[in-house]
Amino acid sequence: MVKQDNKFEWEKNYDAEFATVNSFLNSDAVTAKTDAFILVWVKTEKQVRKIFTHLIYQLFTDKEDIKETIVEDKHLYFEHFIRLFDALYKTSFADIVGDEYKNFLDNDLNGGERKRIKKFRNKILHGQLTNQGLGTNTLSNEIDLMRNWVKIVAEKMSEEIGYDGLGRNSLTESQKKDIKSEFKEGIDIKTQAELEDFINDNKK
């Protein structure tokens, strides 16, 4: 990990990523907690996507084709990007993240804290009453859990692959010179068609 001015690069990226969230939380707006909740949810989704695209870029460096492939697939979500990471990299996402993976995702991507948080997110986005006492304290707790997840993933991935999922441009060369040696054997993606096939074969 790169350290700058007493902070690691991932820590600086984390602070920058959550500057807007902090602005919401420090405001007096009635919807501050709800707005912050949705924004942090989006950041959890974006982080895992960027981690995957960063790895793909180490094999297939056509930025526009990578972007187009991800954008055109309307059914790629958080859990799919973790499955794709696991299909690509020798060490699983769960093993890299450690105990927090089990807490947040319950090891099967369908449980843990995120399952509960997702129910809140769905109701909020659809303008429904939650019926679950979703007050400011509850929202604050869920925001903290998601922020903690992002922070741990950033730290662990920075150590493992040289990228935290928070840096603005994921389509860059890895800071780890030997990163390709950590990919699973037989992985060879050189064209957009091969990338599309890889995604379709492994996201389910």
CB-based contacts of 87: which residues, under 8 Å, 6+ apart?
Answer: 184, 198, 201, 202
**pLDDT truncated to tens, each residue of the chain (204 aa)?**
666 666 899 999 999 999 999 999 999 888 899 999 999 999 999 999 999 999 999 999 999 999 999 999 999 999 999 999 999 999 999 999 999 999 999 877 778 999 989 988 888 887 765 445 567 788 999 999 999 999 999 999 999 999 999 999 999 999 998 999 999 999 999 999 999 999 999 988
CB < 8 Å & 24+ apart, contacts of 175-183: 175/2, 179/55, 179/58, 180/58, 180/59, 182/89, 182/90, 182/91, 183/55, 183/58, 183/59, 183/88, 183/89, 183/90
* Chain CA centroid to CA 90, Å: 18
**Which amino acid, residue 15?**
D
